[in-house]
Amino acid sequence: MTGPPQHDDRRAASTRGTQEHPVIRWLLIGAAMLFAAVFLLLPLANVFWQAFSAGLASYWGTLADPDTRAAIRLTLLVAVITVPLNTAFGIAAAWALARFDFRGRTLILTFIDLPFSVSPVVTGLLLVLLFGAQGLVGPWLQAHDVRIIFAVPGMVLATLFVTFPFVARELIPDMQAQGSEQEQAALTLGASPWQTFWHVTLPSVKWGLLYGVILCNARAMGEFGAVSVVSGHIVGLTETLPLRVEKLYQELNPSAPFAVASLLALLALLTLLLKTFLEWKNRRGLERALTPAEPAQSVGLGSTGLLTAGERPSP
């Protein structure tokens, strides 16, 4: 009735072409949210529900148990040793691999990715084959009374292996995206290499670095398979929190494993929170630093997908 019918037709055609019908749109959203509810929301809510199902007193009782507290201490100890070591490695590797081009660079990148493609259980087996009683250096270690397998050093080594790539994988693409012009300028102006590193390089990649450290820490505290193989499961001595969860589960206690698991779920939530915040910070930093002509490129095999996906700024 109002306006030329042709105009209406064109408008209808253009939305039909680039947008789904509202009914289809809401059906798709509904299906996706159902999937997210079953696989993301319910598992998360269930941990806390089950943890408190036997009441607060039972919850605190489980957490105050000396064996649980020993597990908390060991989990923290393992993380305190492994995260700084892998962070130092990540920074060194990022400097060497993002700032220089040399023969064998791709090979090193491939090796850095290797732990991501090895099953945690196989990681444990590798250490047993190296340090175990029948391992390559096992007899020598026994002769010198050094225990690695079924002891804390083995668990530290297993965690080091499993969390090895996290910081390096995060920093290398970030540092490549930043480029080295500012560092070269600082050096030209008379800054020492350390000054350049502390005042130019580190501030420009600090969010990416923190992001890698947080992911590394989450995995270090939560690792199960690799640590399980080399731990020997000695209650109070070689039990980390995830191993404590398994132990309580095997004792057929209905709520106690969930009480311990709730600590690890909290860690996961905290990790997600920090990760979301850092991703936002990092994207802003990258957007400011990047010229549109030079988008950040992911390097190496990118076998982690997840780790690099969030970092690829869309052109």
Partner 1 sequence: MKERPHNPLPGLGLTLGFTVCYLSVVVLLPVAALVLKSLDLSWGEFCDLAFNKRALAAYRLTFGASLAAALANALFGTLLAWVLVRYRFPGRRFIDALVDFPFALPTAVAGLTLGNLFSENGWLGQFLVPWGIQGAFTPLGVVIALTFVGLPFSVRTLQPVLQAFDRGVEEAAATLGAGRLRTFLTIIAPTLLPTILTGFALAFARAIGEYGSIVFISGNLPFETEIAPYLIVMRLEQYDYAGAMALAIVLMAVSFLLLITINWLERWSGHFERA
| Residues 210 to 249 in contact with partner 1, rule: CB under 8 A | 215, 218, 221-225, 228-229, 241-243, 245-246, 249
What does each C-alpha distance from 210 to 80, 86, 279, 296 come to in angstroms?
Answer: 15, 12, 10, 19
Question: Residue 33, by phi and psi: left (phi above 0), alpha (psi -120 to 50) or beta?
Answer: alpha
> Which of 125, 151, 237, 289 lies at the binding interface for partner 1 (CB under 8 A)?
125
Does the protein bind partner 1 through residue 130 (CB under 8 A)? yes
Distance, in Å, from the CA atom of 315 to the CA atom of 310, rounded to the nearest integer, reads 13
Does the protein bind partner 1 through residue 181 (CB under 8 A)? no
User: x/- string (CB under 8 A) for partner 1, residues 53-82?
Assistant: ------------------------------
> Which of 80, 121, 146, 202 lies at the binding interface for partner 1 (CB under 8 A)?
121
**Strand, coil or helix: what is 59?**
helix
Per CB under 8 A, the segment of 58-66, 204-212, 285-293, 303-311 that binds partner 1 is 303-311
> Which of 9, 11, 33, 147 lies at the binding interface for partner 1 (CB under 8 A)?
33
> Which of 8, 9, 25, 69 lies at the binding interface for partner 1 (CB under 8 A)?
25
Residue pair 71/244 in contact (Cβ under 8 Å)? The answer is yes
Determine the longest span between alpha carbons in the chain, in angstroms: 98
Does the protein bind partner 1 through residue 119 (CB under 8 A)? yes
> Which of 160, 172, 205, 210 lies at the binding interface for partner 1 (CB under 8 A)?
160
**Strand, coil or helix: what is 304?**
coil
> Which of 63, 76, 77, 118 lies at the binding interface for partner 1 (CB under 8 A)?
118
> Which of 114, 146, 202, 235 lies at the binding interface for partner 1 (CB under 8 A)?
114
**DSSP letter assigned to residue 199:** I
Does the protein bind partner 1 through residue 16 (CB under 8 A)? yes
Distance, in Å, from the CA atom of 304 to the CA atom of 309, rounded to the nearest integer, reads 9
Does the protein bind partner 1 through residue 185 (CB under 8 A)? no
Does the protein bind partner 1 through residue 303 (CB under 8 A)? yes
Residue 82: Cβ within 10 Å count: 26
Identity of the residue, 2 or 30, whose beta carbon is nearer to partner 1 in the bound complex? 30
# residues contacting partner 1 (CB under 8 A) = 109
* Residue type at 219 in one-letter notation: R
What does each C-alpha distance from 30 to 19, 24, 34, 86, 191 come to in angstroms?
Answer: 17, 10, 6, 42, 58
Residue listed under structure tokens 């009441």:
55
Beta carbon of residue 289, minimum distance to partner 1 (angstroms, whole number)? 16
